[in-house]
Structure 1
Amino acid sequence: MTEDCSSLSKGDAAVKAHNDMDTTSQTPNGTYGSHDKKEQLVLDGKAMSLISAKRKALLYDIIDLESCNAITVKERLLMLIQEEEIPSIQSIISIIQKCRESRHQMLAKFLHQFICFTGLDNLGDVGNDLVGALLECKITDLAQQVFSKLEVRTEFPWTYFIREYTEHGQVELAVSMFKQMKEDRVAASKFTYVALLKACTKIKSLVEGQIIHSEILKVGLENDYYIGNVLLDLYAKCGSLPEVQNVFERLRVQDVVSWTSLISGYVEKGLDKDAVHCFEQMVEKGTFPDERVFTCVLKACRSIGTREKGLEVHAFLVTEELENDLIIGNSLIDMYVKCGLLLEAKDVFDSMLVKDVVSWTTLISGFAENGLSEAAILMYTSMLEQGLIPNDNTFATTLKACMIMPDREPGRRLHAQIQAMSCIRSLDAFAVTALIEMYAKWGCMEDAQQVFETMKERDLICWNALITGYSEQGEYGAVFQLLDRMKQEGIPPDEVTYLCALTACSRGDLLDKGKLYFNALLEDRGTTVTIKHYNCMVDLLGNAGYLKEALNMLKSMPFPPDLVAWITLLASCQKWGNVEIGRQAFEAILKLDETHVSAFHAMFNIYVDANMWEEAKKIEVMRLNMEAGKTRPRSSIEVDGLTHVFVVGDRPPSSFNNMWEA
C-alpha cells in the first residue's frame, strides 16, 4: 500500500486498501507481501511485541460492534491494516461472530483475506470460528480451505459442516463428516447429534438414525429435550411407531412439539383413529394444540370419514377462535369435502376472512368430485373475478368438472386460458395431463394428441394419460405406436403403462404380444405387479382357449384371486364350453359372493350348452332360493295422501294402473 490514503474518504480508503490487498502474493511460509516489497508482517514473538506496542487501542475502542454495519467494519479493518495495527484475538473473534450473525458474504470474504494476511487462520479459536462464519455465509469452498489447514479442530466447525451438508441435501457427506469427526476423537455436542438426526430424517434413513440414537444413549443425552423431539420427528417420518412411542414416553417434558410428532407419525402411517385418540389425550393433559396438530387431526378425520370427530374438532376451533386461521380453515374445507359434507365445506369457506388459491381449489375439487360440475365452474369463475391466479391444481380440478359436463364449451375456454397462462409461466405437467384426460374422455383423441405434442417436457403420467385414452376408445394400434415411441425415447414404463398395454392386448386378442408385455413386467424390478395385471392375462388366455393355463395362473399368482378374476375365467369357460373349469370358477365365486346373479346365469348356460339339464335345473333352483332369501329393497310413494310401501319385484296393485292417466 504505497499511496497515502489519509486524504481519501473512508469508503475510498477501503476500496484502495482492498485493491492493494488483492495485489499481494502469498509467500511460501503462509504470510502475505505486497509487490512493492513492503516489509512483511510475520507474527512471531518479536513482531507481536512490536504490534502490541504500536497498537493505540483495542479494537473495541475503534469499532462499536453494536452500531457498525458490515461495510463499516470492513472499512475500519482496512484502515487498521494501513496503520499496521493488528486487533487482539478476542476482537477478531468478536468480528467473526458479527459476520456470522449478519451473514454478509462480502464481509466474510474480506475477513477471510484479513485473517490470512495476519497469519491468524491457523490459530485454533480464530480458524474454527471463521469456518462457521464462512459456512453461515454460504462460502463453502473457503470454509473447506480453512478447515483443511486447521491443526486443532473443535466440535464447532464439524457441526457446522454437518448442518450445511444436510441443508443442501448432501446427507451422505454429512454422515461421512461425523465418521471423520469420530476418527479424529472430537467429542460431539448435542448440536452435532441434532444436525445428524435431521440429516437422517431428510432421507428417511432409519438405520443410520438408530446408529446415531445409540451414540446418544452412550453419552447420556437421551433425556435432552431438543434431541428427544428431533428423535421423535425422525422415527415418525420413517414410520417406526414403536420407537416413536418409546421416545415419547421417556421424555421428561411432553410439549406441543412432542405431541405433534406423535400425532403426525400416526397420520403418516395411516393410523388415523390412533391419531384422533392421541389428540384427545393431548387436550385432556392440558397441552394446547398448534396449527400443525389441528391440520394433522383434521387430515385423520378426513381419511376415516369421521364426521362426528371432525365436527368436534371444528367446534373446539370455534371455541378457541381459531377457525379463521387460513391453514386451519383450508384443512377444515378439505376435511368436509372428503367426508361429503359440501354444505359445511361451503359454510367454512364463506366464513373465512382471508382465502387463498388453496381455499378456492379445495372447494372446486369437492364440487367436481361429487359431480357438481356447474358449481365447480362457477366457483372457478368467481375466483378469477376476485383477482386470484389459478395454480396447476386449480386447472386440473376444474378440468375434471368440465370433463363430465354435456357442454364442452367451458372445457375449451379453460384450455385457452391455460394456453395463455403458459405464455406467462411454466405450467406443471399435472395441469396439462388433465387436459389430455378431458379430451380423451370426450373421445377427441386428435385434440388430446395435439396437447401432448405441444408439451415441452413429458413425464410418464402424460404418456399414460394418452395411452389410456386411446385404449378406452378402442384405438389399440395407436396404443402400441405410443408404447414403441416411449421405448425409443427411453421412457421406462410403470405399472399403469403395462396395464394399458395388457388391456389393449386383451381386447384385441393379441395373446403373443400380451405374453411379451407380461414377461417384461415380471422382469422389471422397478414396477409393482398387481392383481389387475394378472386378471388381464387370465382374460387373454381364457379368450384364446387356454383355460388350464388361465386356471394355473390364478392358483400360482402371489395373491388370492379376486371376484373379477374368477368371473373372467367363468366367462371364458362359457365361451369355450368347458364344464369342469367352469364349475371350479363358479364354486370359487360363491365363496366370495354367494349372491352373484351373473355367475348363476353363466353356469346355467354352460350346463345347457353341454346338454346337462339336471345340473342346469339345480343351478336354477339355487338361484331362485338365493333370490328368495335376499332381503329385497323397499321403497314407498305417496299418492292422494296415502303412502304405499312396496319391494322390488312386486306387482303394482290395481289402484296404480290409472295413476299415470290422471
Structure 2
Amino acid sequence: MSVAAPTSTLRHWNRLIQLAAASGSYSRCLRHYVPLLAAGLHGDASTFPSLAKSCAALRLPRLGCSVHAHALLVGAASDVFVLTSLLDMYAKCACLPDARRLFDEMPSPTLISWNCMVTAYSKSSCVTEAVAMFNTMRGVGVRPSGATLVGLLSGRVDSLSTRNPGLCLYGYSMKSGLDTDLPVLNSVLTMLVRAGQLYDACLLFDSMHEKSVVTWSAMVSGFLQTGDYMKVFGLFNHMQTAGYKFDSVALVNLISAAVLLGNLLVAKGVHALLIKSGFESEQDLMSSLVNLYAKCGDLEAAQEVFDAVHRKNVVLWTSMISGYAEGGHPDKALKMFDSMLCTDVEPNEATVSSVLSACANLGSANQAKKVEDHVVAIGLQKDLRVATGLIDTYCKCGNVTLAREIFDGVTTTNRDLAIWSAMINGYACIGEGSEALVLFNEMQNQGVQPDAIVFTHLLTACNYSGLVDEGLQCFRSLTVEYGIEPSIEHYMCTIDLLCKAGHLSAAKEFFRKIPIQLQNQGSGRRQQIIGG
C-alpha cells in the first residue's frame, strides 16, 4: 500500500518524530519518517537524534546504518548532536567497530561521546579497552563524570589483575569529588559484591549516608552469595523500617533467601508481602514464588500460585514442572508438560531438563523417547544441556544403547565435561568398566580435563567390573596426574574394589591412608569393612 504524501510541513513531522521518541514510542517514531521521505522531504539535525535513539532502543543496527547514511547524504552528520546520537546507537547495538570508527572521526568528542565508548566497551566485556579509554580521556584533559564511572563499573572490572579495582575507582571518585554521587557508589558497591569482596562492600555500605533500593539490593545479593539468609532478612527488616519501597529485584533476592531457609511460614510471609507490594501479577516473581513453595514441600500452594497467573510464560511453566519433578511427583511433572504442549508456549532447555529428570525418576525410556522426539521437533537436539540430560535419563532407564546414540550424535569438538561424564557414568551403572575406561581415554585425548565426579564414575565402573589394577591406576591418576584431593567416595570405592577382589590386607592398608577429616564421613562404611 502506498503512503500518502503528507501535507504538513517538515517542522510538523519533525515534531511528531521527536515527541514519539521522547515518549518511548520508538516504532512510531521510525514509522513517522516514512511519509516524510515519501513526500520528497528529508530530516535535519533535529530529526536524526530521535531516529538514532529509536534504532538504539529497538536494537536495529542495520536500520541505524541507513539513518547514518541518510544523515551523511543530507549533510546533517557534521552536527555534534547527530554524531553523538549515532555513536550512542552503535554502542547500544554492540557494533563496537562502527562506534569506534565514528568516535575516531569526531573532531572534538564530547564528554557524552567518551562515556558512550567507555560504557560500550565495558558492557561488551572489553574491560581492558574500557579502562584504556577512561585513561585516555583523562590524558587529553576530559574530566570523567559520574556517568563515566558508572559506565566503567557496568562491566567486569573486577576481572582485571589490578588489586581491588573497585576500591581504586572509589578512591578516584573521592579524589574527584564524585563520592557523593549515589549511582557511582551503588556501582562500586555492586562491583565489590560481584568480586566477592564482602568485607569491603560492608564498609562502603555502612559509610554511605544516602542509600536507595539499589544499594540495599546490592548488599543483599552479597549475603546471598555466602548463603547467609539471616543477614538478608535483617537487611529487609531495616529497609522496611526505613520506609523503602521494594522493587522486583529486591523481592527476587528475598525469595532466594527464603528458598535457602526452606521454611513454609516464611514462604507464606513473603507471598503476603508480594501481594501487599502489588507484584502478584509479575510473572518472574510468581515463577520464583512457585519455586519457593516447591522447595518448602507445599506443591499445592505452588500450583495455586501457578493457576492464578493468566498469561503464563516458559519460566513459570518450567518452575511448576521442576517443582513436581524434584518434589517426588514425576507423573504430575509429565502431565504438566503435556498441558504446556497444548499452549502456544514453547519449552526451552531448562524445561526439557526438568521433564527428563521426571522420566529418569519414573525409569521410563518410552517417555524419554517421546521427549526426545519433541526436542528434535523444536530444534533443541544440538543443545549440550539437553543432550546430556537425554544421555543421563536413558542410562538411568537402563537403555545405554540409546544414550550412546545421543552421545555419538554430538560432534567430538563440541563435547564438554558434563556430557563425557554422563556417558561414562552410564557404562559404570551397568558394570561396563572397560567401555568406561575407553571413553575416559578418548576424553583425555580430546584435551578435556576430568574432575572429581568423573573419577567417582570411573572407580565405580572398575568396582562393578572387578578391574582392580585399573581402579588403582585411576586413583593414582586422580591424585598424581590431576592433583585432585580424593573424597571419601573415592576412598570407599577403591576399598570396596579391593575387598571384593579378596585383597583384605590391601584394603585395610588403604583405609589407614584416609585423612582423619574424611573418616567420620565414612564411619558407616568403615564398620562394614572392618566387619568384613
Q: TM-score, normalised by structure 2?
A: 0.80
Residues 360 and 397, structure 2, Cα contact 8 Å, conserved in 1: yes
Residues 125 and 156, structure 2, Cα contact 8 Å, conserved in 1: no
Q: Which residue of 1 aligns with 2:184?
A: 227
Q: Which residue of 2 aligns with 1:614?
A: none
Counterpart Cα distance in 2 of 1:156 and 1:163 = 10
Q: Does 1:347 align with 2:311?
A: no
Q: Secondary structure at the match of 2:513?
A: helix
Q: Which residue of 1 aligns with 2:398?
A: 443
Q: Secondary structure at the match of 1:554?
A: coil
1:216 to 159, 173, 185: 173
2:506 to 531, 546, 549: 546
Counterpart Cα distance in 2 of 1:102 and 1:315 = 39
Counterpart Cα distance in 1 of 2:390 and 2:93 = 45
Q: Which residue of 2 aligns with 1:172?
A: 128
Q: Which residue of 2 aligns with 1:101?
A: 53
Counterpart Cα distance in 2 of 1:129 and 1:330 = 38
Counterpart Cα distance in 1 of 2:356 and 2:47 = 58
Compute the displacement of 1:254 (Å): 2.2
Q: Does 1:158 align with 2:110?
A: no
Compute the displacement of 1:439 (Å): 1.8
Compute the displacement of 1:385 (Å): 2.5
Compute the displacement of 1:517 (Å): 3.2
Structure ranking higher on relative contact order (CA contacts 8 Å, 6+ apart): 2
Residues 128 and 157, structure 1, Cα contact 8 Å, conserved in 2: yes
Report Cα offsets for 1:154-189 as digits up to 9, x if no partner: 544332211111222211211222233334343211
Counterpart Cα distance in 2 of 1:150 and 1:409 = 64
Q: Which residue of 1 aligns with 2:22?
A: none
Q: Which residue of 1 aligns with 2:21?
A: none
1:498 to 431, 455, 479: 455
Compute the displacement of 1:139 (Å): 5.6
Q: Secondary structure at the match of 2:442?
A: helix
Q: Does 1:418 align with 2:367?
A: no
Counterpart Cα distance in 2 of 1:406 and 1:499 = 23
Counterpart Cα distance in 1 of 2:218 and 2:310 = 30
Q: Compared with structure 1, are the counterparts of its residues 79 and 233 closer, same or farther at alpha carbon in structure 2 (3 Å cutoff)? A: closer
1:452 to 407, 432, 453: 407
2:348 to 391, 397, 410: 391
How high is the sequence identity, in percent, across the aligned residues?
Answer: 26
Q: Which residue of 1 aligns with 2:27?
A: none
Counterpart Cα distance in 2 of 1:140 and 1:115 = 24
Residues 170 and 185, structure 2, Cα contact 8 Å, conserved in 1: no
Counterpart Cα distance in 2 of 1:96 and 1:116 = 8
Q: Which residue of 1 aligns with 2:148?
A: 192
Specify the structure having the higher radius of gyration (Cα): 1
Residues 538 and 569, structure 1, Cα contact 8 Å, conserved in 2: no
- Aligned AA for 2:53? E
Q: Which runs of 5+ in 2 are unaligned?
A: 18-31, 56-63
**1:57-456 map, 5 Å:** 65-66=14-15, 97-98=49-50, 100-103=52-55, 104-109=64-69, 111=71, 135=91, 140-141=96-97, 143-145=99-101, 147-148=103-104, 154-200=110-156, 203=159, 207-405=164-362, 408-422=365-379, 427-456=382-411
**1:445-524 map, 5 Å:** 445-456=400-411, 457-522=414-479
Residues 65 and 98, structure 1, Cα contact 8 Å, conserved in 2: no
Counterpart Cα distance in 1 of 2:89 and 2:334 = 54
Counterpart Cα distance in 2 of 1:202 and 1:376 = 41
Residues 105 and 139, structure 1, Cα contact 8 Å, conserved in 2: no
Q: Compared with structure 1, are the counterparts of its residues 524 and 393 closer, same or farther at alpha carbon in structure 2 (3 Å cutoff)? A: farther
Compute the displacement of 1:341 (Å): 1.2
When structure 1 is superposed on structure 2, of 470-479 and 140-149 the one drifting more is 140-149
- Aligned AA for 2:15? E
Residues 458 and 474, structure 2, Cα contact 8 Å, conserved in 1: yes
Residues 252 and 285, structure 2, Cα contact 8 Å, conserved in 1: yes
Q: How many residues are treated as equivalent by the alignment?
A: 497
Q: Compared with structure 1, are the counterparts of its residues 350 and 235 closer, same or farther at alpha carbon in structure 2 (3 Å cutoff)? A: same
Q: Secondary structure at the match of 1:299?
A: helix
- Aligned AA for 2:263? T
Residues 118 and 130, structure 2, Cα contact 8 Å, conserved in 1: yes
Q: Secondary structure at the match of 2:479?
A: helix
Q: Compared with structure 1, are the counterparts of its residues 173 and 528 closer, same or farther at alpha carbon in structure 2 (3 Å cutoff)? A: farther
Residues 158 and 166, structure 2, Cα contact 8 Å, conserved in 1: no
Residues 487 and 518, structure 2, Cα contact 8 Å, conserved in 1: no
Q: Compared with structure 1, are the counterparts of its residues 520 and 185 closer, same or farther at alpha carbon in structure 2 (3 Å cutoff)? A: farther
Counterpart Cα distance in 2 of 1:447 and 1:312 = 47
- Aligned AA for 2:406? V
Q: Secondary structure at the match of 1:546?
A: helix
Residues 131 and 152, structure 2, Cα contact 8 Å, conserved in 1: yes
Q: Which residue of 2 aligns with 1:8?
A: none
Counterpart Cα distance in 2 of 1:295 and 1:460 = 31
Compute the displacement of 1:337 (Å): 0.4
Q: Compared with structure 1, are the counterparts of its residues 523 and 215 closer, same or farther at alpha carbon in structure 2 (3 Å cutoff)? A: farther
Compute the displacement of 1:193 (Å): 0.8
Counterpart Cα distance in 2 of 1:439 and 1:186 = 62
Counterpart Cα distance in 2 of 1:264 and 1:227 = 18
Residues 256 and 288, structure 1, Cα contact 8 Å, conserved in 2: yes
Compute the displacement of 1:335 (Å): 0.2
Compute the displacement of 1:475 (Å): 1.0
Q: Compared with structure 1, are the counterparts of its residues 328 and 161 closer, same or farther at alpha carbon in structure 2 (3 Å cutoff)? A: same
Q: Compared with structure 1, are the counterparts of its residues 164 and 320 closer, same or farther at alpha carbon in structure 2 (3 Å cutoff)? A: closer
**1:585-604 map, 5 Å:** 602=531
Q: Secondary structure at the match of 1:344?
A: helix
Compute the displacement of 1:536 (Å): 3.8
- Aligned AA for 1:305? G
Compute the displacement of 1:405 (Å): 2.5
Residues 428 and 464, structure 2, Cα contact 8 Å, conserved in 1: no
Residues 356 and 389, structure 2, Cα contact 8 Å, conserved in 1: yes
Residues 368 and 400, structure 1, Cα contact 8 Å, conserved in 2: yes
**1:554-633 map, 5 Å:** 554-555=514-515, 560-565=517-522, 568=525, 571-572=528-529, 574=530, 602=531
Q: Secondary structure at the match of 2:156?
A: helix
Q: Compared with structure 1, are the counterparts of its residues 319 and 138 closer, same or farther at alpha carbon in structure 2 (3 Å cutoff)? A: closer
Counterpart Cα distance in 1 of 2:36 and 2:359 = 62
Counterpart Cα distance in 2 of 1:292 and 1:157 = 30
Q: Compared with structure 1, are the counterparts of its residues 400 and 129 closer, same or farther at alpha carbon in structure 2 (3 Å cutoff)? A: closer
Residues 131 and 143, structure 1, Cα contact 8 Å, conserved in 2: yes
Counterpart Cα distance in 2 of 1:413 and 1:99 = 49
Q: Compared with structure 1, are the counterparts of its residues 147 and 441 closer, same or farther at alpha carbon in structure 2 (3 Å cutoff)? A: closer
When structure 1 is superposed on structure 2, of 231-240 and 325-334 the one drifting more is 231-240
Q: Compared with structure 1, are the counterparts of its residues 272 and 150 closer, same or farther at alpha carbon in structure 2 (3 Å cutoff)? A: same
Q: TM-score, normalised by structure 1?
A: 0.66
What is the aligned-residue RMSD (CA, Å)?
Answer: 3.8
Compute the displacement of 1:467 (Å): 0.9
Counterpart Cα distance in 2 of 1:126 and 1:404 = 60
Q: Compared with structure 1, are the counterparts of its residues 419 and 67 closer, same or farther at alpha carbon in structure 2 (3 Å cutoff)? A: closer
